[in-house]
């Protein structure tokens, strides 16, 4: 193999490693970097010493056997063992981001040694192609392994599933890649896909890893990773619901302009190479004879895919994954009961029921001998015991609610949870694929408690709004009581009292005028509010809410009329009393 091709292969390895190193940042210390890199190099040397060195032996084997069993299987198995050792050794400081960094370093060390060996030993056109393309494959497949292994490590439950996929997915990617190269012909045109798809997956994994906690962070909080993810999803549910009403703005985009001017310039230079080759193919002079498909793959498709890969690195926005959601929220109503008291003492909603931990949106008063019951779509769960989880440092991020752990061993609860999951899956498919009638599912997540997301606490006597104020919001009482008053000219008249779970302030939004009454908090009160546009979305998406709103408006009109009639009666009585007192005074004067 000419020294020029050998140098190009090594430079390619260094470029990919440098780009990912800059993307991930420093992985602990230089010694840790060197150890991970050398681990990959040792694996490559060991496999090269054990593998056959003559093309005669290789020709007896099928491309499938060479690609999957002789290449992908031992490389990924030993890579998994090496990565697992480094993770266990540094378990106290390990994060998903560091695990990806270790894995890419192992892949870089392996590629470095393998490229030198293949350039030295083999001279076929197959090796001529993989000198350049295998670098990206090794680094990205190991990066995927690191991401999945890191996720499995920080999880409290079912981490073994991620350990299995941490080996299986990189093994399949590696095996398919080698099979395509060894088979040749039209399979050469699939090489760019084998490069670009794993690069994009690793880029998304790196961006996501920047938002994940370390195992030490979870231990200090006293929560599981599943619970941290549950809290993180709450923001996603809120964004999803508001987005479904077309009233949310400024969402973080998935892609962003890739940072790093030097990296972007390098990518543009690499992308210019296939254009130059297509315009002036005589610039490429080869000392070996290769097929036209190999020529296109080597000098057009491969440089283009490498250039796009370099440009892709850093293009996925990490902010996209903060509170991001891809599943449909099917809202459950919950009620907390105290022993011996038939009426619920607390109520609210929850966006999901997926495990042993739940996030309850609403006010939950902690106490012993209390149970919680869930309802959705007229289906009720058995009452189960629960225990609040204190997440002190994340309280500002969790917003209105509390994290709890429930006792799922109560008879009948697993069956309720399975029915909820099945309906959530089916309804989600119907909604996302816009099957006929799917718009009706919006009532499952567009409710007063989900729309009103701006929360504030009021003291007794605080005024929410005054009569005559402009109407911009409506309110939901989550805790406490609010009295609605109207000035009659002779004094305020109490029209109604709004209690927990009820809304007020919507009448002015319906007729589009200023506030017709004053709202004053009677006790310590927690209110959540939303803008007038969200009221329109509630009425359109939730027929049950619309009918309830009509009944409430009629009821309040009747109460208002009764209050005014009562005020008029009291005024008449007062006038009569004053008239009688006046007549009695006149008679006394006449008698005197």
| Tens digits of residue pLDDT in 38-80 | 999 999 998 888 765 544 555 667 888 888 988 899 999 999 9
Q: Note whether residue 257 is domain-resident.
A: no
pLDDT for the residue 592 = 52
DSSP secondary structure of 546-584: HHHHHHHHHHHHHHHHHHHHHHHHHHHHHHHHHHHHHHH
Query: Is the same domain home to 414 and 483?
Result: no
Mean pLDDT of 414-434: 83
pLDDT for the residue 288 = 58
Query: Is the same domain home to 31 and 135?
Result: yes
pLDDT for the residue 577 = 64
CA distance 474 to 532: 7
CA distance 417 to 380: 10
Q: Note whether residue 64 is domain-resident.
A: yes
Range of the domain at 433: 332-440
CA distance 15 to 527: 56
Which residues are registered as beta bridge partners of 208?
A: none
Query: Is the same domain home to 393 and 517?
Result: no
CA distance 314 to 303: 19
Q: Is residue 81 within a helix (H) or strand (E), and if so which, with residue range?
A: helix 73-89
pLDDT digits (tens, 9 = 90+) for 345-379: 888 889 888 788 999 987 777 677 789 999 987 88
Please compute Rg for the chain using Cα positions: 34
Residue that is written with structure tokens 């008029």 in the block:
568
302 or 487, which is more confident?
487
Which of the four pLDDT bands, split at 50, 70 and 90, describes residue 196? Answer: confident
When mean pLDDT is compared across 282-291, 319-328, 432-441, 544-553, the lowest value belongs to 319-328
Mean pLDDT of 479-488: 88
Q: Note whether residue 214 is domain-resident.
A: yes
Cβ atoms of 487 and 467 within 8 Å: the answer is yes
**Residue 333 C-alpha from the chain's centroid:** 22
Which of the four pLDDT bands, split at 50, 70 and 90, describes residue 26? Answer: low
Mean pLDDT of 519-540: 86
142 or 365, which is more confident?
142
Mean pLDDT of 31-40: 87
pLDDT of residue 544 exceeding 90, the answer is: no
pLDDT digits (tens, 9 = 90+) for 441-474: 777 778 888 888 788 899 999 999 999 899 889 9
CA distance 544 to 522: 29
Report the percent of the chain where pLDDT is more than 90: 18
Strands 473-479 and 503-504, bridge-based pairing: antiparallel
pLDDT for the residue 130 = 55
When mean pLDDT is compared across 59-68, 143-152, 419-428, the lowest value belongs to 59-68
pLDDT for the residue 520 = 95
Cβ atoms of 329 and 315 within 8 Å: the answer is no
Compute the half-sphere exposure of residue 98: CA atoms within 13 Å on the CB side of its CA: 21
Which of the four pLDDT bands, split at 50, 70 and 90, describes residue 121? Answer: low
pLDDT of residue 86 exceeding 50, the answer is: yes
Query: Is the same domain home to 402 and 513?
Result: no
Collapsing DSSP states into helix, strand and coil, what is residue 171?
A: helix
Q: Which residues contact 180 (CB under 8 A, 6 or more apart)?
A: 187, 188, 190, 191, 194
**Residue 163 C-alpha from the chain's centroid:** 21
For the stretch 291-321, what's the b/e string if a residue is b when 16 or more beta carbons lie within 10 angstroms of its beta carbon? eeebbbbbbbbbbbbbbbbbbbbbbbebebb
Instruction: Give the domain-ending residue among 222, 248, 264.
Output: 222
Q: Note whether residue 155 is domain-resident.
A: yes
217 or 511, which is more confident?
217
Query: Is the same domain home to 90 and 218?
Result: yes
pLDDT of residue 124 exceeding 50, the answer is: no
Number of C-beta neighbours around residue 580 at 10 A: 10
Q: Note whether residue 424 is domain-resident.
A: yes
User: Is the pTM for the entire model greater than 0.85?
Assistant: no
Query: Is the same domain home to 462 and 371?
Result: no
DSSP secondary structure of 489-532: SSSEEEEEEE-TT-EESHHHHHHT---SSEEEESSSEEEEEEEH
From residue 434, alpha-carbon distances to 245, 347, 359, 536 in Å are 16, 32, 29, 22
DSSP secondary structure of 204-258: HHHHHHTTSPPHHHHHHHT--HHHHHHHHHHHHHHHHHHHHTT----PPPSB-PP
Report the percent of the chain where pLDDT is more than 70: 76
Tell me 194's DSSP state.
Answer: H
Q: Which residues contact 269 (CB under 8 A, 6 or more apart)?
A: 307
Collapsing DSSP states into helix, strand and coil, what is residue 467?
A: coil
pLDDT of residue 483 exceeding 80, the answer is: yes
588 or 564, which is more confident?
564
From residue 333, alpha-carbon distances to 270, 340, 375, 449 in Å are 56, 21, 5, 10
Crossing angle for the helix pair 3-24 and 125-154, nearest 10 degrees?
20
Mean pLDDT of 514-538: 87
Tell me 281's DSSP state.
Answer: G
pLDDT digits (tens, 9 = 90+) for 220-273: 888 889 888 888 888 778 777 777 766 544 456 667 777 777 777 877 887 887
Query: Is the same domain home to 472 and 356?
Result: no
Instruction: Give the domain-ending residue among 498, 514, 542.
Output: 542
Beta strands in 317-439 (DSSP E): 332-338, 346-350, 357-360, 370-376, 379-380, 384-389, 402-406
Number of C-beta neighbours around residue 380 at 10 A: 12
Cβ atoms of 262 and 313 within 8 Å: the answer is no
Q: Note whether residue 314 is domain-resident.
A: no
Highest mean pLDDT of the ranges 64-73, 425-434, 486-495: 64-73
The number of distinct structural domains making up the chain is: 3
In the structure encoding, which two tokens stand for residue 281, read together? Answer: 């193919």
DSSP secondary structure of 84-137: HHHHHHTTTT--HHHHHHHHHHHHHHHHHHHHHHHHHH--SHHHHHHHHHHHHH
Q: Note whether residue 427 is domain-resident.
A: yes
pLDDT for the residue 353 = 87
**CATH for 379:** 2.40.10
Q: Note whether residue 558 is domain-resident.
A: no
pLDDT of residue 325 exceeding 60, the answer is: no
From residue 587, alpha-carbon distances to 37, 272, 356, 532, 584 in Å are 114, 113, 82, 61, 5
Pick from 194, 190, 141, 193: nearest CA to 170: 141
Which of the four pLDDT bands, split at 50, 70 and 90, describes residue 279? Answer: confident
**CATH for 484:** 2.60.120.10
**Residue 135 C-alpha from the chain's centroid:** 31
Query: Is the same domain home to 411 and 476?
Result: no
Instruction: Give the domain-ending residue among 388, 408, 440.
Output: 440
Mean pLDDT for all residues in the chain:
79
Three-state secondary structure of 533-555: HHHHHHHHHCHHHHHHHHHHHHH
CA distance 144 to 76: 11
Query: Is the same domain home to 340 and 480?
Result: no
Which of the four pLDDT bands, split at 50, 70 and 90, describes residue 147? Answer: very high
pLDDT for the residue 416 = 93
pLDDT for the residue 343 = 81
Burial of 37 from C-beta contacts in 10 A (0-12 / 13-18 / 19+): buried
CA distance 254 to 1: 43
Query: Is the same domain home to 383 and 481?
Result: no
Query: Is the same domain home to 432 and 458?
Result: no
Mean pLDDT of 321-339: 72
pLDDT digits (tens, 9 = 90+) for 368-411: 778 999 998 788 999 999 988 877 544 444 556 889 999 988 99
pLDDT of residue 588 exceeding 50, the answer is: yes
Query: Is the same domain home to 210 and 64?
Result: yes
């Amino acid at each position: 193999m000419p020294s020029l091709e050998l140098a190009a292969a090594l430079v390619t390895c260094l470029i990919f490693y440098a780009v990912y190193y800059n993307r991930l940042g420093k992985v602990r210390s230089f010694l840790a970097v060197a150890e991970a890199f050398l681990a990959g190099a040792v694996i490559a040397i060991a496999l090269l010493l054990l593998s056959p060195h003559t093309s005669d032996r290789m020709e007896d084997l099928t491309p499938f056997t060479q690609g999957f069993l002789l290449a992908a299987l031992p490389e990924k198995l030993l890579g998994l063992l090496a990565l697992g050792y480094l993770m266990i050794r540094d378990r106290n400081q390990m994060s998903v981001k560091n695990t990806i960094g270790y894995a890419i370093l192992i892949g870089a060390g392996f590629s470095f040694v393998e490229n030198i060996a293949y350039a030295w030993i083999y001279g076929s056109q197959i090796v001529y192609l993989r000198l350049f393309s295998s670098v990206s494959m090794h680094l990205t497949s190991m990066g995927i392994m690191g991401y999945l292994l890191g996720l499995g490590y920080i999880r409290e439950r079912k981490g073994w599933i991620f350990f299995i996929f941490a080996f299986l997915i990189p093994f399949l990617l590696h095996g398919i890649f080698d099979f395509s190269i060894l088979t040749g012909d039209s399979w050469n045109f699939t090489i760019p896909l084998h490069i670009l798809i794993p690069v994009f997956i690793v880029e998304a994994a790196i961006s996501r890893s920047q938002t994940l906690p370390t195992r030490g962070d979870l231990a200090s909080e006293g929560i599981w990773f599943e619970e941290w993810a549950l809290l993180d999803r709450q923001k996603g549910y809120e964004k999803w619901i508001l987005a479904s009403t077309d009233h949310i703005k400024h969402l973080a985009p998935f892609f962003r302009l890739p940072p790093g001017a030097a990296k972007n310039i390098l990518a543009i230079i690499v992308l210019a190479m296939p254009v130059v080759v297509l315009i002036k193919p005589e610039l490429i002079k080869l000392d070996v004879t290769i097929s036209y498909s190999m020529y296109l793959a080597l000098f057009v498709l491969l440089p283009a895919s490498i250039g796009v890969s370099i440009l892709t690195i850093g293009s996925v926005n990490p902010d996209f994954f903060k509170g991001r959601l891809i599943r449909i929220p099917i809202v459950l109503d919950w009620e907390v009961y105290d022993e011996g008291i038939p009426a619920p003492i607390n109520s609210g909603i929850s966006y999901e029921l997926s495990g042993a931990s739940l996030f309850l949106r609403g006010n939950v008063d902690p106490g012993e001998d209390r149970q919680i019951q869930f309802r959705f779509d007229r289906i009720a769960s058995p009452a189960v015991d629960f225990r609040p989880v204190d997440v002190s440092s994340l309280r500002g991020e969790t917003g209105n609610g509390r994290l709890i752990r429930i006792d799922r061993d109560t008879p009948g609860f697993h069956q309720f949870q399975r029915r909820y999951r099945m309906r959530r899956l089916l309804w989600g498919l119907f909604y996302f694929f816009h099957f006929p009638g799917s718009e009706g599912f919006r009532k499952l997540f567009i409710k007063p408690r989900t729309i009103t997301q701006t929360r504030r606490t009021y003291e007794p006597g605080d005024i929410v709004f005054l009569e005559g104020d402009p109407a911009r919001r409506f309110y939901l009482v989550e805790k406490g009581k609010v009295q609605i008053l109207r000035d009659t000219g002779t004094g305020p008249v109490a029209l109604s009292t709004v209690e927990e779970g009820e809304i007020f302030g919507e009448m002015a939004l319906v007729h589009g005028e200023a506030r017709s009454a004053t709202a004053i908090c009677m006790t310590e009160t927690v209110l959540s509010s939303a803008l007038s546009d969200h009221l329109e979305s509630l009425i359109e998406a939730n027929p049950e809410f619309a009918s309830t709103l009509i009944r409430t408006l009629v009821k309040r009109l009747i109460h208002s009329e009764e209050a005014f009639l009562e005020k008029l009666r009291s005024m008449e009585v007062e006038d009569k009393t004053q008239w009688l007192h006046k007549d009695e005074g006149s008679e006394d004067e006449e008698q005197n």
